[in-house]
Chains A and B, each alone.
Chain A
Amino acid sequence: MSKDVKFVIKRRANPQSAPYIEEFLIPYFPKMNVVAALMEIQKNPVNTKGERTTPVAWDCNCLEEVCGACTMVINGQARQACSALVDQLTQPIYLAPLTKFPLVQDLVVDRKVMFDNLRKVKAWIEIDGTHDMGPGPRVSPKVQEQAYALSKCMTCGCCMEACPNVNSKSKFIGPAPIAQVDLMNSHPTGALQRERRLEALMNEGGIADCGNAQNCIKACPKEIPLTRSIARLNRATTFFGIKGWLNK
Chain B
Amino acid sequence: MSGKVIVIGGGLAGLMSVIKLAERGQKVDLVSLVPCKRSHSVCAQGGINAAVNTKGEGDSTWEHFDDTIYGGDFLANQTPVKNMIEAAPSIINLMDRMGVQFNRTPEGFLDVRRLGGAKYSRTVFAGATTGQQLIYALDEQVRRYEDEGLVTRYEEWELLSIVRDEEGCCRGAVVQDMKSLEIQVFPADAVILATGGPGMIYVRSTNSTINTGFAAATAYMQGATYANGEFVQIHPSAIPGRDKLRLMSESIRGDGGRVWVYKDGKPWYFLEEWYPAYGNMVPRDIATRAIFKVCVDMKLGVDGENKVYLDITHLDPHEIDRKLAGVVDIYEKFIGDDPRKVPMETFPAVHYSMGGLWVDFNQMTNIPGLFAAGECEYQYHGANRLGGNSLVAAIYAGTVVGPKAFEYSNGLKQHYTDLPLALFERAKEREVAKQKALFAMQGQENPYKLHQELGEWMVNNVTVVRNNNQLLTTDQKIQELMERYKNIGVGNGAAWGNQILPFTRRLWGMLSLARVITLGAYHRNESRGAHYKPDYPERDDENWLKTTKAEWTANGPNFSYEPVDTSFIKPRKRRYDVAKEVTV
Contacts and interface: CB of A to CB of B under 8 A. Distances in A.
B37 A65 contact: no
A234 to B, nearest CB: 23
A159 interface: no
Given A14-B497, A110-B179, A140-B108, A33 B241 contact: yes
B366 interface: no
Contacts of A135: 93, 96-97, 110
Nearest to B93: A135
B247 interface: yes
Given A82-B243, A104-B179, A66 B97 contact: no
A65 B94 CA distance: 27
Contacts of B93: 132-136
B108 A130 contact: no
A148 B321 CA distance: 12
A54 B275 CA distance: 53
Nearest to A106: B497
Interface in A106-137: 106, 108, 110-112, 115, 118-119, 122-127, 129-130, 132-136
A123 B104 contact: no
Interface centre among B133, B141, B179, B242 (most CB of A within 10 A): B242
B244 interface: yes
A63 B99 CA distance: 26
A148 B129 CA distance: 10
A237 to B, nearest CB: 21
A247 B300 CA distance: 75
B143 A68 contact: no
Interface string A58-94: 0011111111110000000000001101000000000
A195 B336 CA distance: 44
B452 interface: yes
Interface in B121-157: 126-127, 129, 132-133, 136-137, 140-141, 143-144, 146-147, 155
Interface residues of A, number: 69
Contacts of B428: none
B146 A119 contact: yes
A148 B93 CA distance: 18
Interface stretch (A149-157, A164-172, A208-216, A225-233): A149-157
B497 A127 contact: no
B208 A130 contact: no
B20 interface: yes
Contacts of A13: 494, 496-497
Contact of A125 (B20, B99, B146, B333): B99
A115 B133 contact: no
A190 interface: yes
B38 interface: yes
A66 B496 contact: no
Contacts of B155: 112, 115
Contact of B499 (A55, A66, A138, A187): A55
A99 interface: no
Nearest to A154: B37
A66 B129 CA distance: 8
B296 interface: no
A138 B109 contact: yes
Interface in A191-222: none
A84 to B, nearest CB: 10
Contact of A65 (B147, B333, B493, B496): B333
B439 to A, nearest CB: 13
Interface in B394-411: 399
A63 B38 contact: no
B143 A124 contact: yes
Interface string B242-275: 1110110000000000000000000000000000
A190 B99 contact: yes
A36 B242 contact: yes
A145 interface: yes
Contacts of A236: none
Contacts of A124: 99, 140-141, 143-144
A119 B145 CA distance: 10
B105 interface: yes
A53 B572 CA distance: 59
A135 B97 CA distance: 7
B577 to A, nearest CB: 34
A43 B23 contact: no
Contacts of B143: 115, 118-119, 123-124
A55 B94 CA distance: 45
B185 to A, nearest CB: 23
A147 interface: yes
Interface in A41-58: 42-45, 54-55, 57
Interface of A: 13-14, 29, 31-33, 35-36, 39, 42-45, 54-55, 57, 60-69, 82-83, 85, 104-106, 108, 110-112, 115, 118-119, 122-127, 129-130, 132-136, 138-141, 144-145, 147-148, 151-152, 154-155, 183-184, 187, 189-190
The 8 closest A-B pairs by CB, nearest first: A105-B497, A138-B108, A124-B140, A136-B96, A125-B99, A63-B244, A67-B38, A136-B97
Interface of B: 19-20, 23, 34-35, 37-40, 42-43, 90, 93-94, 96-99, 101-111, 126-127, 129, 132-133, 136-137, 140-141, 143-144, 146-147, 155, 179, 208-210, 240-244, 246-247, 322, 326, 330, 333-335, 399, 446, 448-449, 452, 491-494, 496-500
19 contacts: A13-B494, A14-B496, A14-B497, A43-B449, A44-B446, A55-B448, A61-B208, A62-B38, A82-B243, A104-B497, A111-B35, A119-B147, A124-B143, A125-B98, A125-B99, A141-B104, A147-B101, A152-B132, A155-B35
